[in-house]
Amino acid sequence: MVSSRENSSNPARIPALGLRVLVLIIVSILLMYIDNRENHLDAVRKSIGAAVYPVRVVVDAPVRFWSWLGESTTSRNDMELELGRLRAEKLLTNARLQRFTALEAENARLRALLDARARVRDQVRVAEIMSVDANPYDHSLVINVGSQDGAFDGQALVDAEGVVGQVIETGLMTSQAMLISDSDHALPVEVNRNGLRTIVVGTGEIDRLDLPFVVNNADIRAGDLLVTSGLGGAFPSGYPVAVVETVTRLPQEPYASVTARPAASLGQVREVMLIWSKPLAENVPDDEDVPDE
């Protein structure tokens, strides 16, 4: 009895295998020749390709899915990073725009001060406001000019629009000033239209002044410009102080009720000018910032 192992190694089967290989080679060559010459197998090839296509799609689907998922995740992460970067840039840009707006406003104020300084015949020096009193009934502020710069008690402060106040306490490097709207402040003025002299006092309101000593028959009306009269020595004459808003005649009273609006925007002022008038030239500091005009 011959074992199966001996049958599998039988040399008699080798010629049959070689014959099959030879036949396959001949058939392959013949098919290539026919396909190259006549293209008879093109339709067969297309049919086979169409039949195999669904199999390719099924086999390739997992690979495509994982590739799409990876690209989607990467794209989402990139978009989130880009969105975060754009938001940060937007905040930075907005902050810079706000700063530019502030600088533009400051530049406009300084230009106005320079224009006002050119019109002023007295000697002046620009000072910056360092702080404002938070007490609504105490209208005072601190400026960065003191006695070492030539500032003195009672010195007048103006801005580009008109009188702001006056120095009440001088330190070495800073000074405290009182606004004309303070209830303790009084200022001699005159009506620019006719020279009528009176006194303007603060009311404790930043946008209102009172004229308590105007008689009923005085020639004053709404819209009149009030300027410093120069009396008292602290304020040089001719600086705008306020504009009359209301005039109410009181027949039963010796004085009319007159209110005015400060010429300067007291609640928005950022820089002021200290004035050294010509008669007080001995108090003027020897400083290049205070030119003799």
**Predicted TM-score of the model (pTM):** 0.58
CATH number at residue 253: 2.40.10.340
Give the bridge partners for 178, in sequence order.
140, 166
- Cα 285 from Cα 148, distance rounded (Å): 8
Report the relative pairing of strands 209-210 and 257-262 from DSSP bridges.
antiparallel
Amino acid type, 75 = S
Number of domains the chain contains:
1
Q: Torsion-angle region of residue 195: left (phi > 0), alpha (psi -120 to 50) or beta?
A: left
> Is 216 among the domain residues?
yes
Helix (H) or strand (E) holding 74, with range, is helix 42-119
> Is 10 among the domain residues?
no
| Secondary structure (3-state) at 207 | coil
> Is 25 among the domain residues?
no
- CA distances, 224 to each of 196, 238, 261 (Å): 11, 14, 11
Domain carrying residue 190: 122-279
Q: Strands (DSSP E) along 140-218, which ranges?
A: 140-143, 156-158, 163-170, 175-179, 186-191, 197-202, 209-210
> Is 59 among the domain residues?
no
> Is 137 among the domain residues?
yes
> Is 152 among the domain residues?
yes
pLDDT per position in the chain (293 positions), as tens? 444 445 555 555 556 777 888 888 887 787 777 766 666 666 666 677 677 767 777 777 777 777 777 776 767 777 878 887 787 777 667 656 655 655 666 677 677 666 665 555 567 788 888 888 867 778 899 999 999 988 999 998 988 888 999 999 998 999 999 999 999 999 999 998 888 999 999 999 999 999 999 999 899 999 999 998 888 778 888 888 999 999 999 888 889 999 999 998 888 888 888 888 654 444 445 444 444 33
> Is 104 among the domain residues?
no
Helix (H) or strand (E) holding 84, with range, is helix 42-119
3-state DSSP helix/strand/coil percent for the chain, to nearest 5?
A: 40, 25, 35
Do 272 and 164 meet the contact criterion of CB atoms below 8 Å apart? yes
> Is 215 among the domain residues?
yes
pLDDT given for residue 226 in this prediction: 92
- Cα 215 from Cα 253, distance rounded (Å): 9
Q: Which residues contact 159 (CB under 8 A, 6 or more apart)?
A: 112, 113, 116, 264, 265, 269, 271, 272, 273
